Structure 1
Amino acid sequence: MKAHTRRADAQAAACDAGAVGEARTAALLAPLEAAGWKVLHDRRIPGARRANADHIVVTPAARVYVVDSKLWSAKWTVHAEGGRLTHGDAARGGDRSRSVRSLLFETQLVERALEWPVQPLMVIHNAPVAGGRFVVEGIPVMPAHMLVQALVLNDGVRDPRAVLLGERAERVLPPYR
Structure 2
Amino acid sequence: MSAGRSAGEQAAALRAQAVPRGLRRRLLALVGMDRQGARLEAEARSWGAGEVGEQRTAAMLVPLGAEGWAGFYDRRIPGLDRANADHVLVSPGARVFMPDSKLWHARARVRVVRGRLAHGDVDKDRQVDGVLTEARLVGQALNTEVTPVIAVHNAPVDGGGFIVRGVPVIPADRLVELLRRNAGAPNPAEARRLALLADRVLPRYVE
- TM (normalized to structure 1)? 0.95
Matched length: 173
- Off by >6 Å, runs of 4+ in structure 1: none
Name the counterpart of 1:164. Answer: 193
Aligned partner of 1:173 in structure 2 is 202
Partner residue of 1:57? 89
Counting only pairs closer than 5 Å after superposition, residues 131-170 of structure 1 correspond to structure 2 as: 131-159=159-187, 160-170=189-199
How far did residue 52 of structure 1 move?
A: 0.9
Structure 2 counterpart of 1:4, which letter? Q
Name the CA distance, whole Å, in 1 between partners of 2:67 and 2:203: 22
Task: Give, in angstroms, the shift of residue 33 of structure 1.
Answer: 1.4
1: distance between equivalents of 2:39 and 2:134?
Answer: 25
Q: Tell me the SS of whatever aligns to 1:48.
A: coil
Q: Is the 8 A contact 2:86 2:99 kept in 1?
A: yes
Give 1:39's aligned residue.
71
Larger Rg: 2
Q: Quote the residue 1:75 is aligned against.
A: 107
Hey, what's the Cα distance between the residues in 1 that align with 2:139 and 2:184? 19
Q: What's the counterpart of residue 151 of structure 2? A: 123
* Residue 80 (structure 1) shift: 0.9
Question: Is 1:13–2:45 an aligned residue pair?
Answer: yes
Tell me by how many angstroms 1:4 deviates. 2.2
Distance in 1 separating the partners of 2:186 and 2:67: 13
Output the CA distance in 2 between the equivalents of 1:167 and 1:138: 27
Unmatched 5+ residue regions in structure 2? 1-32
Q: Deviations over 1:126-168 (max 9, x none)?
A: 0000010000111000000000011101122111201110110
Would the aligned equivalents of 2:131 and 2:148 in 1 still touch at CA under 8 Å? Answer: yes
SS in 2 for 1:6: helix
Separation in structure 1 between the aligned mates of residue 68 and residue 91 of structure 2, nearest angstrom: 9
Distance in 2 separating the partners of 1:153 and 1:106: 23
TM-score (norm 2): 0.81
**In structure 1, how many angstroms separate the alpha carbons of the residues matched to 2:159 and 2:35?**
37
**Deviation of the 1:5 alpha carbon:** 1.9
Gaps of 5+ in 1: none
The percent identity for this pair of structures is: 50
* Corresponding letter in the other structure for 1:142: I
Asked which structure has the greater RCO (Cα within 8 Å, sep 6+), the reply is: 1
